[in-house]
Amino acid sequence: MEKLAEEIWIGNGKPVQFLGLPFSTRMTVVRLAGGELWAHSPIQLSQSMITQLDDLGEVKYLIAPNHLHHLFLAEWMAAYPSAQVYGTTEVIKKRRDLSFTDSLNHPQDWPWRREIKQELFSGSPLMQECVFFHQRSRTLIVTDLVENFSGQDFNYWQKFIAKGVGILAPNGKMPIDWRMSFMFGKAQAREHLARMLAWEAEILVMSHGEIVTERTDTFLERAFHWLL
C-alpha cells in the first residue's frame, strides 16, 4: 500500500496470467470523509495489508468494476463481513456464489456520491466497466478501459504482442479486440467518454500498467482516439 494523493492509496499485487501475458494487479483505496474505506478492484489480501487498512479506517465498500475483476472478492468478504459489495450486472451474474449488495448498473444515490463520481461505460457486448473519479485528488480510476503496461515483466514476444494490441506504455489504450467490439456502439460509448473527460482528471490510475500523472488529458485523448 502506498499513498497516491490526498485520501487515496494504491496496492500492487502479484501478476495473474491472462491470455498468455502476466497481468499486473492493482487496487485503489479511497478514505471517505467519515473514515470509511472504499476499495476498488481488491487484490490478493495479506495480513500486512489488513494491518495497513485497519490503520487507515474501516473497509466499508468493495467494488468489482467489471466482469474480470472479482478473483479476490471472496477473501475480502470473509475478512470484512460487514462491508457492502457492489459490482456490474455482468460480474454479479458470473459470481452467483457471492452475495452482492447491489449492481453498479442500477442508478441510485451511491453512499460515496459526494466524493466519488462514476460512469458506466458501455457500448460493447463484451466490455462494460464502471469508471470512477475521486474529486478531491482529481483521480480517474479505471480497470481495463485503459491498459498501459511498462513491459518490464514481458519477454520479447510478450512485448511484441502487447505493442500490437495497443497496451504498451507510453501508448496504452484499450486492447484492440475490445475496441473492435464497440463497432456498433460507438455513439453510446462517446457519450460516456464525453462525461468522463469533462471531469478533467489530473491523475489516471489503472489496474494494469503505469499510472499517468502528467498531461493526463493529452494521454486520454490519444488513448481514446479510436473512439473519437
Compute the average pLDDT of residues 30-50: 96
What count of residues does the chain have? 228
Domain for residue 181, yes or no? Answer: yes
Compute the average pLDDT of residues 177-206: 95
For residue 23, is pLDDT > 80?
no
Query: Could you tell me the pLDDT band of residue 158, with boundaries at 50, 70 and 90?
Result: confident
Q: Where are the alpha helices (DSSP H) in the chain?
A: 47-56, 73-79, 89-94, 156-165, 176-180, 186-198, 216-223
Domain for residue 228, yes or no? Answer: no
Compute the average pLDDT of residues 167-192: 91
pLDDT at 226: 92
Q: What is the span of the domain harbouring residue 88?
A: 2-223
Picking from 20-29, 84-93, 98-107, 128-137, which range would have the lowest pLDDT averaged per residue?
20-29
CATH assignment at residue 195: 3.60.15.10
Q: In the chain, pLDDT over 90 holds for what percent of residues?
A: 75
C-alpha cell at 115: 466524493
The number of domains in the chain is 1
Residues contacting residue 36 through CB under 8 Å, at least 6 positions apart: 57, 58, 59, 60, 61
Domain for residue 201, yes or no? Answer: yes
Compute the average pLDDT of residues 45-58: 95
Domain for residue 111, yes or no? Answer: yes
Domain for residue 144, yes or no? Answer: yes
pLDDT at 20: 63
> Which 3 state secondary structure label does DSSP give 181?
coil
For residue 29, is pLDDT > 70?
yes
Which residues are bridge partners to 21 per DSSP? 18
For residue 87, is pLDDT > 90?
yes
- Smallest CA-to-CA distance from 89 within 105, 76, 78, 77 is with 105
pLDDT at 164: 82
Distance between terminal CA atoms of the chain? 35
Q: Answer for the pair 13, 39: CB distance below 8 angstroms, yes or no.
A: no
What pTM was estimated for this model as a whole?
0.92
Report the greatest alpha carbon distance in the chain.
48
pLDDT at 19: 58
Domain for residue 152, yes or no? Answer: yes
Q: What is the pLDDT of residues 105-136, one digit of tens each?
A: 999 999 999 999 999 999 999 889 999 999 99
Query: Could you tell me the pLDDT band of residue 78, with boundaries at 50, 70 and 90?
Result: very high
C-alpha cell at 62: 468493495
For residue 17, is pLDDT > 90?
no
